[in-house]
Structure 1
């Protein structure tokens, strides 16, 4: 941190007006990342992730230790998990997460679970849908719904793990076709929401085991994509983008998705979605992650309910003087939080400076 401070000091000594976003971005990335630098959630937003945790615990107690640390660092409000294999060790991990509670279906367990922050989340109900045998072909694991409140708003999250595999060809005449089973599953979920939750804040997420950016003839999600008035895959840009951001690197593909309804994408103050590349925070990189944690990365969404204030010095205007004021706080290790903590991570640092500079450049 001292090295970064010296760079900032050198920058602002000569001409403060020359502080630019690329320069600040360089400062934010010049130091190596450690696991302790991992973060996502904040107090101003509802932070949710889906994570296929690959038959937890993949490497016994080592996995429990890794995952408990990661969950604390990500600071999520809700984590929807797939592939919990050992419920005893899952419960043991929850004991190491005092800020969180967890749930899995005990009567017919299929690997789906939730972990949620008890301080921010009020649970109304948790239940499964499409549980009868006539739906088992479409849903080898019944979707798990959590009905909850966050900051006075009600949300329903539907956790899923769709059938895997296939040949990439959708055959709607073959009930055993893997693509057709996923096609049937997503359309049943759409039907359920359309009929039962038409005006609700609904999030469908999980390991959906298929590509949302595929061409229409074989895209099992095409009916959802066609109904863009009511539904939106929040991670569509990730799926259409560089493979480095995808959730399943071993066979480069993006299989883990977050679908939101119009009540959310029309009603929030902003949305942010990203694949959380935990492997980049580990000394051993992807090899260490894959060996000890999972073969999937989490995909997370931030639903922003509060608009951050950029008037750091409180003078009623937002300009370069706010940058200088914030720089002075960072350089002096000033522990004042307040409006200076733009990203609401409970500290004032270079990342707040990046956000402020970006805001001024674009407004």
Structure 2
């Protein structure tokens, strides 16, 4: 949205100061409790433009009140996943998430987001960022990255961020991909001319990258999907509308019904797009634009000029998984082996879930090629680890380990990737490390906390007295 400016004459300022000396301003009326809009068992997804959130210069002028109101809506509405746009202050975002027990969140410039710091920052209190917030009991973060960076200018300098969450749904482990976007704003032809190629690029990316996956694209699309807000133009998202076999806007019904998603305009511009795999799970009629003004006094000026948008999906959370499905993570990477024999390079994977899983045919690869394929009959038990070493000569005793099937892992000390894929070639997990993380002989890179799916990557000697522990927990105890 456009910045808001306030201009006062000197006389008006003086008058206001004198009035303030004799008049006590009443306290702002308190927000009422927002009733739950979520289901206890199904997946509830929300997206919301939180207008210049945390910016002292634009949007709502009372930052503390905006913080309180946004938290009131989000905590009360009880969504499982939130895609946010127009997050300006990282510290304000962190405060928001900290005030919502049971939730975690990542904003676009977080170090965990690949290329996040390159495209997003807190510079000048004007950088509008996207973010994802989710209930930590429902899912854990697998990966986060900025995508479509070649379309940076068409996305007005804020390319989408893709988050992959993993949870137990319908009794099995599933990965759900959430892409949060904030498209170019404005109803001018120039604005439409940016949104249109951005939409083409997004569809091409989804067509080729996720042809059979569960993908949600949520956020502020800054245009409608029935007809464009730019007079005389078709919607820039007509390419998705015209491919119903693969994509659906569950929010399109609200556009067709004349429902607005902002406080000041009649159009619906805050959409959810889903792939056909998700469409099969959509609870018909559940998409709605929630209007918080019934609970938040002066909502449009104190909180946001956009309404939060909700939809429900029949991914049954947990789904009777008997203590939790298998969940395999990359937990430790030893790229800079002790000594000079690359046989000592190692990658440790751990099943932090509740059931065993066959990893036969799964592969480990670096940024260049497949380096190991797990043999037929390989099963990873819950709470256990298996480590792949560069060669047999590097494997110590007392752990479950195998040598790389190609004869080496080829992990570069100058930075590389490690990618774990299942037997169908789908990425289960991936990580990237830098030269500074692999610059010490014999010191590995480990998750912190150890064994946590959302743990960040740190040097092993920062979390343990040991320099490395492939095949063991970080403290040296056996799995």
- Whole-Å separation in 2 of the counterparts to 1:104 and 1:76: 18
Aligned with 1:78 (options 74, 78, 81):
81
Secondary structure at 2:227 match in 1: coil
The alignment partner of 1:218 has SS state of coil
Asked if residue 253 in structure 1 is aligned to residue 267 in structure 2, the reply is yes
| 8 Å CA contact retained: 1:179, 1:220 | yes
1:267/1:84 CA distance change after superposition, 3 Å? closer
Q: Show CA shifts across 1:106-143 (max 9, x none).
A: 21234111111111122111111022xx4222122110
User: RMSD of the alignment, in Å?
Assistant: 2.0
Structure 2 residue ranges without an equivalent (≥5): 1-30, 55-59, 110-116, 122-127, 318-479
DSSP 3-state at the match of 2:193 = helix
Cα distance in 2 for residues equivalent to 1:268 and 1:54: 28
1:252 shift after superposition: 2.1
The question of whether the paired residues in 2 share the 8 Å contact of 1:38 and 1:281 is answered with: no
After TM superposition, list the pairs within 5 Å mapping 1:203-282 onto structure 2: 203-214=216-227, 217-242=233-258, 245-267=259-281, 272-282=286-296
> Which position in structure 1 is the counterpart of 2:160?
143
8 Å Cα contact 1:78-1:116 kept in structure 2: yes
Structure 2 vs 1, CA of residues 306 and 88 (structure 1 numbering), >3 Å: closer, same or farther? closer
Alignment of 1:106-121 (within 5 A): 106=109, 107=117, 108-109=120-121, 110-121=128-139
Give the Cα–Cα distance (whole angstroms) in 1 for the partners of residues 226 and 34 of structure 2: 31
Residue number in structure 2 paired with 1:126:
144
Which residue matches 2:32?
35
Residues 34 and 72, structure 2, Cα contact 8 Å, conserved in 1: no
SS at match of 1:98: coil
Mapping 1:1-363, distance limit 5 Å: 35-57=32-54, 58=60, 59-106=62-109, 107=117, 108-109=120-121, 110-131=128-149, 134-140=150-156, 141-150=158-167, 151=169, 152-167=173-188, 177-214=190-227, 217-242=233-258, 245-267=259-281, 272-282=286-296, 284=297, 288-306=298-316
Distance (Å, rounded) in 1 between the aligned partners of 2:233 and 2:95: 45
Q: 1:217 to 1:291 in 2, by over 3 A?
A: closer
1:231-271 Cα deviation digits (max 9, x unpaired):
111101101113xx311121222110001110111245656
Is residue 105–residue 133 contact of structure 2 (8 Å, CA) maintained in 1? yes
Structure 1: unaligned runs, 5 residues or longer? 1-33, 170-176, 308-363
- 1:217 to partner: Cα distance: 4.8
Q: Per-residue displacement from partner, 1:43-78 (whole Å, max 9, x unpaired)?
A: 221111110000013321111111112111111111
Conserved 8 A contact 2:281-2:314: no
* Alpha-carbon displacement from aligned partner over 1:91-116 (angstroms, at most 9, x marks no partner): 12222112111111221234111111
**What whole-Å deviation, never above 9, does each CA across 1:310-339 have from its counterpart, x for those lacking one?**
xxxxxxxxxxxxxxxxxxxxxxxxxxxxxx
Alpha-carbon distance in structure 1 between the residues aligned to 2:180 and 2:283: 24
Counterparts of 2:94 and 2:79 in 1: how far apart (Å)? Answer: 18
Q: Secondary structure at the match of 1:219?
A: coil
For 1:92, what is the secondary structure of its paired residue? helix
Asked which structure has the greater RCO (Cα within 8 Å, sep 6+), the reply is: 1
Question: Post-superposition shift, 1:157?
Answer: 0.8
Please identify, of 91-100 and 256-265, the stretch whose mean Cα deviation from structure 2 is larger. Answer: 91-100
TM-score (norm 1): 0.67
| Higher alpha-carbon deviation: 264-273 or 51-60 | 264-273
TM-score (norm. length: structure 2): 0.51
More strand by share: 2
Call closer, same or farther: CA 1:278–1:271 in 2, change over 3 Å: same
Structure 1's 119 and 204: CA in aligned 2 closer, same or farther, altered over 3 A? Answer: same
Max Rg structure:
2
Deviating beyond 3 angstroms after TM superposition, the runs of 4 or more aligned structure 1 residues are 267-271
